[in-house]
Amino acid sequence: MPQELLFELNGARVTPHIATFGGTSYQISNIGSVRVMQRKKYNSLAVIIFVLGLGIVVAAMVKSRMTGLAEESFSMAATGIAVVIGSFLLQLIWPLRAGFGNLHRAISGASA
């Protein structure tokens, strides 16, 4: 006898007595708690830009120490800092999210 379907989305199916995620089924009576989270992933472009900005800042510091004149490398350091800030803004504007299709079972165990 088919059970009443309460929820179904991207491989997750919940009925009053059984919850199925991917190919694994759980009895509802054995589930102690459920937590749903949406995780942010780092945007790989933002990470690359961040590392580039740090490299520019470090290069400016090295140039400043070699020449002894901080004024010559100030614009280079300011550019590096602007690139780092830009990478943070890129991550805020264009974040990558782990969707429901990337469902991961964090903890699964039999309750005693």
Predicted TM-score of the model (pTM) = 0.55
Structure confidence by residue, pLDDT tens digits, 25-43: 888 888 777 777 777 778 8
What are the E-state strand segments in the chain?
7-9, 12-14, 18-21, 24-27, 40-41, 96-97
**Residue 63: its pLDDT value, please?**
92
Model confidence band, residue 9 (pLDDT cutoffs 50, 70, 90): confident
* pLDDT tens, residue by residue, 55-98: 999 999 999 999 888 888 999 999 999 999 999 999 988 876 54
User: Whole-angstrom distance between the N-terminal and C-terminal Cα of the chain?
Assistant: 30
Q: Using alpha carbons, list the distances in angstroms from residue 93 to 42, 47, 52, 64, 68.
A: 12, 14, 19, 34, 39
Closest Cα partner for 34 from 46, 22, 21, 53?
Answer: 21
CB atoms within 10 A of CB 20: 14
- Cα(44)–Cα(68) distance, rounded to whole angstroms? 36
